[in-house]
Amino acid sequence: MAVFHRTKRLKIYGKKPEVTQLFGGRYAMTVRCQAKNDTEAWYDKNKDQIFADFGTLYDAHMAVDGIDARTGEAYTDMVLTSVGAGYTQTGEYVITFRYQTLTSSFVQEAGDKVDQELNGLRRVIRRLIAKDGTSYGKTVGTSTISHSAIGYSAATLTLAQATSGTKSPDESGFVSITETWLESGVISRTINEGSGGTGVGKIRTETVEAFNETPTSTISGVEIGVSTSNVEGIDTIRKTFVSSAGEIRRTDRPGPSAIPGTTYVTIDSVGTAITPTGTLIDSSETQENGYVRFSRTALQGTIIKTTQTYKDVAFVDVPGQVSCTTSGEITPGNRNSISGFSNVSGKTVVIESIPPSKQQVEATVVVNIQNSIPDTTELAFDISGLSCSVLKVTDRISGGVGRAVTLVDANGDTSTEVGRSQSFGASSSISEFRGHFIVNTSSSATLSGSGSRQPYISGGEFKFQEEASETKSKAFGFGNDGADKDSLYKTNGIIRRDVRPVLTAQDGTVFYEVTTVSGNVTSRDPSLPINRSLT
């Protein structure tokens, strides 16, 4: 006798379902059926007669020609999870129904998987299953279970992860969840320790990752960072701590090239600042991962000292000289002795100058390092303060002979008068001589002679009328004279002094490199030329 499943149109193939016992008292059933009209079973118009809805129970009626299950045949809460049609190996067309025991509460689908891989913490992976639409009420990080198993003592575990299970493409009607339960505690702890230099200071960094508890430090460190990380899908808290104290590094390097024999010493420390001996040059404090790194640099060795002394050659200024003199007397002789023309004679003013020049002297060069700029009140061979001027004044008187006029009176007597003319002119000029001193401060000269000679007749004889012309020149020098030169112009002492900063200490003290060039000379170089200016 034929046996049908859920409808008179589906005859059970082989007459009996296949039953499998599952974990936790659940069952699975597989029912294979043959359609009443298998030539049209796959038609779209027949799908409601051979396929049932996912999630329906084993004993539910089909939409067409539905029938009740036989007594004792249907298992409790047997829910349809898969249905499909196909051919068997012998060529028979079969519709296959698969059912599982499912309720509206999640139950374990398989046994727990237990391990202690995370730093010795117990981890339990549990698979759950329920009817589709069942609400999952547990909260990751909050929900707990008390777990015990063979080989494991009782422990409280916290839900670390809950993910949906994977279904095959042709399955439905149920929901599965995979839970990961984890024992609270430290998952990992890493301590890194470093030291440097010749000191004993250390920087210790500790990274602690924990699940469901606040990570704490074992090195009495300061918390410098916190983050939420993920280990195999489990959200955990990771904290980083740092502890440190003492010198961690010392470095030496040569001091400034201008200060030989000195060394920069830098000490890096944590916890407290360590200052090397010497002159403190630089200090800094840096925040690094929650702790303070101190850096102090000092210059060790003698700073204030003479670094060099040597001989050199220097070119110095020699002041010029100015002298007011007169020329030799001009005596051209008698130009016209027959006519009695007067001789011309006289002198002129001469302004003689020797310009400033350069002179080579032996010099001593001394280089010092000082913490102040030295006072320099005067320099040797400095001609900038010397100067003089010469004023030249020229006076000219010129005479001339005019016409001869003869007067005849009533008695017939005659008298002759000759006209005369005369003019006066004056001019002056001044010359300035920087870097000079005056030797002779004044001079004067006169150049005189006949300026005009005119013949005329008087009393029946020739006579001559003459007028003289005269030129007078004077020069007056003023400004620095020889005594001033001896006072203002030093020939022994500092020729030049150069100052440049080479180092600044932390307290603001500036150290300078002072180069002093000194020399002396007792007389003017006799090989220097003398230039004369005649005015």
pLDDT for the residue numbered 289: 64
**Nearest CA to 370 among 304, 442, 290, 451?**
304
Rounded to the nearest 5 degrees, what angle is found at the Cα of 178, between the Cα atoms of 177 and 181?
A: 130
**Nearest CA to 5 among 39, 43, 56, 42?**
56
- HSE of 50 in the Cβ direction (CA atoms, 13 Å)? 25
pLDDT for the residue numbered 232: 63
What distance in Å separates the CA atoms of residue 102 and residue 229, rounded to the nearest whole number? 36
pLDDT for the residue numbered 526: 42
What distance in Å separates the CA atoms of residue 197 and residue 276, rounded to the nearest whole number? 13
What distance in Å separates the CA atoms of residue 463 and residue 420, rounded to the nearest whole number? 15
Query: How many CB atoms sit inside 10 A of residue 467's CB?
Result: 18
**CB 146, CB 158: distance < 8 Å:** no
Phi-psi category of residue 40: left, alpha or beta, with phi > 0 → left and psi -120 to 50 → alpha: alpha
Phi-psi category of residue 471: left, alpha or beta, with phi > 0 → left and psi -120 to 50 → alpha: beta
Distant-in-sequence, close-in-space partners of 142: CB < 8 Å, separation ≥ 6? 158, 159
Over the chain (535 residues), the average pLDDT of each successive run of 10 is 87 89 94 81 76 91 87 90 88 91 94 86 93 91 89 89 84 92 90 60 82 88 80 78 80 95 92 90 84 90 96 94 82 48 68 93 96 92 93 86 77 78 86 93 67 72 77 89 91 94 96 95 47 41
Q: Token pair of 487, please?
A: 């006072």
What distance in Å separates the CA atoms of residue 34 and residue 4, rounded to the nearest whole number? 9
pLDDT for the residue numbered 199: 45
**CB 238, CB 214: distance < 8 Å:** no
pLDDT for the residue numbered 433: 94
DSSP 221-264: PEEEEEEEEEETTEEEEEEEEEEEEEEEEEEEEE--TTSTT-EE
What distance in Å separates the CA atoms of residue 288 and residue 299, rounded to the nearest whole number? 26
pLDDT for the residue numbered 196: 46
Query: How many CB atoms sit inside 10 A of residue 400's CB?
Result: 14
Which amino acid appears at position 205 of this protein?
Answer: T
- Alpha-carbon Rg for the chain, nearest whole angstrom, is 64
Q: Is 290 helix (H, G, I), strand (E, B) or coil?
A: coil
What distance in Å separates the CA atoms of residue 10 and residue 519, rounded to the nearest whole number? 132
Q: Token pair of 195, please?
A: 């030291």
**CB 106, CB 130: distance < 8 Å:** yes
Alpha carbon 161 to its chain's center: 49
pLDDT for the residue numbered 167: 80
Q: Token pair of 460, please?
A: 């029946």
CA distances from 448 to 252, 346, 397, 451 (A): 90, 6, 9, 9
Q: Token pair of 364, please?
A: 């001593």
Distant-in-sequence, close-in-space partners of 448: CB < 8 Å, separation ≥ 6? 344, 345, 346, 468, 469, 470, 471
End-to-end CA distance of the chain: 162
pLDDT for the residue numbered 333: 53
| Dihedral over alpha carbons 179, 185, 187, 188 (to 10 degrees) | 170
**CB 480, CB 437: distance < 8 Å:** yes
pLDDT for the residue numbered 529: 42
**CB 210, CB 188: distance < 8 Å:** no
